[in-house]
Amino acid sequence: HTHGMAHTHSISNHTHDIIYGIYEGTSPTNITIKINGTDRTSILGGGTGFNSDQSNLNITSYLSIGQWNTIELGSSRLGRLDATVFIQALMGV
């Protein structure tokens, strides 16, 4: 396939080994939350991005009932994100 824009890379060709492992270093910053493609960070109280641990963010009103929902977490810096989603399902059977 092709791309509709011309661009160049300033890094010369090189090779290196992959170094496997768990790295400790930076923490994620400016964490964003997108729900079904829409950035909900600000409305959830994070401004342009969260920079501390968060608990009990209620995203209920941004979910679509009866279909798949996508929750995307982003960060402006490399770091580990850990998220837990609690789901309450009510079935009318």
Give the model confidence (pLDDT) of 4-58 as tens digits: 555 566 677 788 888 887 777 788 999 999 999 999 999 999 999 999 999 999 9
Q: Which residue, chain included where needed, has tokens 């982003």? A: 74
Measured CA to CA, the distance from residue 58 to residue 48 in angstroms comes to 18
Residue 59, C-beta contacts closer than 8 angstroms, at least 6 positions apart = 33, 35, 40, 44, 71
In the three-class reduction of DSSP (H, G, I as helix; E, B as strand; rest coil), residue 74 is classed as strand
Query: Does residue 86 register a pLDDT over 90?
Result: no
